[in-house]
Structure 1
Amino acid sequence: MHKKIPFYKYQGAGNDFILIDNRNASFDRKNEQLVKKLCDRRFGIGADGLMLLQQAENYDFEMVYYNADGAEGTMCGNGGRCIVAFARDLGIISSTTDFLAVDGPHQASIDGNQVTLGMIEVHDFRKDGEAYILNTGSPHYVQFIKGLADYDVFQEGKKIRYSGAYGDKGINVNFIEKENNGYFLRTYERGVEDETFACGTGATAAAMTVALHHNMEGDINIPIRVLGGQLYISFHKKDKAFTDVFLKGPAKFVFAGEIDEANL
């Protein structure tokens, strides 16, 4: 008897994820090879990452996030928004939630397909040349670029991600450019090892970089456009500290199905 795995597909601004309801703990969270196969776009379902929704004492649920390479990952902002929509669709929550992720507790609210996700506070940053280095739940390198629409994000991002400066684990690489009333962002994500259509923790790091670069203070809201849509980041900034950090954007159900583990 082959094991069939029920799954749900969601996307947040083009960042797509496989979601599995694992409240009964039937999915082996240590099986990284299976996760990698499920995320494969040619031989599996295909996704930028996979999430397990699990039971968590004193919280509505726990989010366990995996990169497409099968390894358990750091925080994923777009994934966080998608799992909130998933929890709502499962009837676990209604419009607000407190859930647990790898970087600690998160609060979120959902209205239709728009999710506002509370992110961790950031109290420090450093610079690498002209670039800013911040950890918004995942480590990010952010650099201003002119002519970003035509920039080779894959090759340039890959060089920085694998440069010895960031050790074996590497770093996510973001390039931003001012446009109209906000900024345009493109991201090379480690673990996916490619440019993605959106990166929530990257958009958060990019907005913070803008505030640092322009010495902005107080309550700030910065629109960040990504390849897959529009995100909004808000926070309170005082000196180097970012508090009340929120990432707002879409999270949409795409389809559901089941896959036979033996066929992978």
Structure 2
Amino acid sequence: MQVPFVKMHGLGNDFVVLDGRVSPLPPMDAALASALAHRHLGIGCDQLVVLEPSSVADFKARFFNADGSESGACGNASRAIGLLHGQPARIETLGGILHATPTDAGISVDMGEPRFDWDAIPLAYAMDTLTMPVGWEELDGPTAVNVGNPHVIFFTPDCHAVPMDRLGPIIEHDPLFPERVNVNVATVESRSAIRLRVWERGAGLTLACGTGACATAVGAMRRGLVDRDVRVTLPGGTLRIQWGADNRITMTGPATESFRGSFELANYR
């Protein structure tokens, strides 16, 4: 069985998109998702995205990390499938319904309302999520935000000096985070600019992370470090994050289609 796909990326955070909105796709599971995401033996991507029909939105999107685990949301992938759809869309996800709209600046996505309660992150036990009384080596006192998936954010003088390849997996798998966590290290450069690196849960260090940019911006806003409209620059490029008076987060940035192809399903089973 030949299965078509679209390879896309948002600021270098890359995706394989399988479109099952019209023709049904084979069932997706962790083994198949991780096999397709493999950089050397598969198509290669940070996340695999499966589009399906929805009874509550224009369509449904499921997001699978490179290790095969399923995530509730993916900001960069939401922009990519917004580009693929080509018009305003309501997208059903495990993290809630997102709204994607094409604009002159790329794709704008209403990411919904952030959550801050310790059991909404979730954490293993109750604590203040604005300034958490925990640390890992040089990283301490983080803030935590759930924007469809869990994020912990550390504000540092130089985010590029942090050994994320070593500390990222340690923090991701710490028992404090029962569903694991995305790890963000950020440097506030001005009231309107943040520099960011992200270790993504299930994917590792990526060039960009849309939900990480949203979580980091909101975390900085909660601490009074930045204004409610900021530019977040990641290794792959810059996103604009706004946190409105209605408590909803809007993320705006580019998305790109790289190429299209197909694969033989039997080769990955």
TM bracket, shorter-chain basis: 0.7 to 0.9
User: For residue 121 of structure 2, what is the aligned residue in structure 1?
Assistant: none
Q: Which runs of 5+ in 1 are unaligned?
A: 89-93
Residue 13 of structure 2 corresponds to which residue in structure 1?
Answer: 15
- Counterpart of 1:116, as a letter, is S
Structure-2 separation of matches of 1:67 and 1:6: 19
Structure 1 residues 58 and 212: alpha-carbon distance in aligned structure 2, compared to 1, 3 A threshold: closer
> Which residue pairs with 1:111 in the alignment?
103
CA–CA separation in structure 2 for the residues paired with 1:124 and 1:103: 14
TM-score with structure 1 setting the length: 0.88
Deviation at 1:205, TM superposition (A): 0.7
SS of the residue 1:243 aligns to: coil
The DSSP-based 3-state class of the residue aligned with 2:112 is coil
Q: What corresponds to 1:91 in structure 2?
A: none
Instruction: Report the AA paired with residue 98 of structure 1.
Output: R
Aligned residues with identical type, % of pairs? 29
Q: Deviations over 1:114-159 (max 9, x none)?
A: 0100012125351323100110111000001122223211211212
Please say if residues 54 and 62 of structure 1, whose CA atoms lie closer than 8 Å, have aligned partners that are also in contact. yes
Pick the aligned partner of 2:92 from 87, 91, 100.
Answer: 100
Contact residue 115 and residue 251 of structure 1 kept, 8 A = yes
Q: CA deviation at 1:251?
A: 0.7
Which amino acid in structure 2 is aligned with residue 201 of structure 1? T
The answer to whether the 8 A contact 2:115-2:145 is kept is no
CA RMSD for the aligned pairs? 1.8
- TM-score (structure 2 length as normaliser): 0.86
Aligned 8 A contact 2:115 2:146 in 1? no
Give the aligned partner of residue 245 of structure 1: 249
- Choose which of 78, 81, 94 in structure 2 pairs with 1:80: 78
Distance 2:172 2:252 in 1: 26
Q: Does 1:140 align with 2:138?
A: no
Number of residue pairs aligned between Structure 1 and Structure 2: 248
Q: Which sections of structure 2, spanning at least 5 residues, go unmatched?
A: 118-128, 134-140
Partner of 2:136 in structure 1? Answer: none
Matched residue SS, 1:81 = helix
Residues 1:108 and 1:28: Cα distance change in structure 2 (over 3 Å): same
Inter-partner Cα distance in structure 2 for 1:198 and 1:215 = 22
Distance 2:6 2:173 in 1: 32
Match of 2:126 in 1: none
- Matched residues in 1 for 2:115 and 2:205: separation? 27
